[in-house]
Amino acid sequence: MAEAKNRRQKHLGDKSAQSSSGNGSALINDVRDSAEDEPKENIFLLWPNIIGYSRIVLAVASLYYMPLHPRTCSLLYSVSCLLDALDGYAARYFEQSTRFGAVLDMVTDRCTTACLLVFLSSAFPRWAIVFQGLISLDLASHYMHMYATLAMGGAEQSHKNVDKSRSRILSLYYTNKNVLFIACALNEAFFIALYLLSFSSPLLSPSLLKQVPPDAASAIHQGAEVDSSLLKQIFTNPYSAGALELARANKMDSFWPWVLAGVSFPVMALKQIINVVQLVKASKWLAEGDVRARTAQGLPRRRKRN
């Protein structure tokens, strides 16, 4: 291998000599060819992106356990959220920051939060319109911000590079890693707390006050019936271990979920305000570009009056 490297260096040296005699294009072409011979990185297998795939697997697993296993679901969902900080650290440590990784991270965040809010809409039907509004605001705000960054700032500009002149609160939110982590973590913590309260607080879920009927209790202890259907093997009978977990939810202590909800609520509310600011600022930025483009095209054209 060392011999091949020496031959390659000698070859480049010969081309350099040719360049000094006026044949500079030969060296340029040779350097270009050697660059094309270099092995290409597989962006999909960089460490930050592998961590991103792990987040997706954990999130999907948490969704499977979400209807009936609150403890297991909360653990899986929380680990998936915490890995959001690890992939950013890995990207900086290994110098593997990529646009694919940034989009993967944002899409995973939006999808997992939306799925949890969909469940909360079914758990608290009276507040469904609030959760639907939060989903819409979250998706619209981040999509508008990302699109405005690409359209107005250029493909090379990161959506996290927000100038203070455009928005001080967005600049602080995106450029300060501690602020970003605390805001995102406590925002998710509030919704996880609501999820746990849907299983443990009779105040929010009056149905928890009802006793399990004797027939249902006996069915729970019998377990799921064996069925040849593949779907029923995957999504088991409700009167199985999952239903037993739901019955035990009546005994789940709601104290700590209430504490978590109370502590995280102000940060969650601030996060929604930031989403509104982000949506408004991105809309104004796009409108500024539209005004410049229309002016360059000579629009609006004034029509002659008869």
161-177 mean pLDDT: 92
Cα 104 → chain centroid: 7
CA distance readout (Å), 9 to 16, 35, 193, 235? 10, 14, 63, 63
How many whole angstroms separate alpha carbon 99 and alpha carbon 155?
9
Query: What is the reported pLDDT for 49?
Result: 96
Q: Which of the two residues, 275 and 27, has the higher pLDDT score? A: 275
Which residue from 44, 152, 149, 150 is spatially nearest to 98, judged by alpha carbons?
44
How many whole angstroms separate alpha carbon 171 and alpha carbon 165?
9
Tell me the pLDDT band of 20, cut-offs 50, 70 and 90.
Answer: very low
Please tell me which residue in 30, 84, 87, 109 is annotated as part of the active site.
109
Class of CATH domain 43-201+254-287: mainly alpha
Domain regions of the chain by residue span: 43-201+254-287
Using an 8 Å Cβ cutoff, are 208 and 199 in contact? yes
109 is catalytic: yes
pLDDT digits (tens, 9 = 90+) for 190-242: 999 999 998 888 788 776 655 555 565 555 445 444 455 665 655 555 445 55
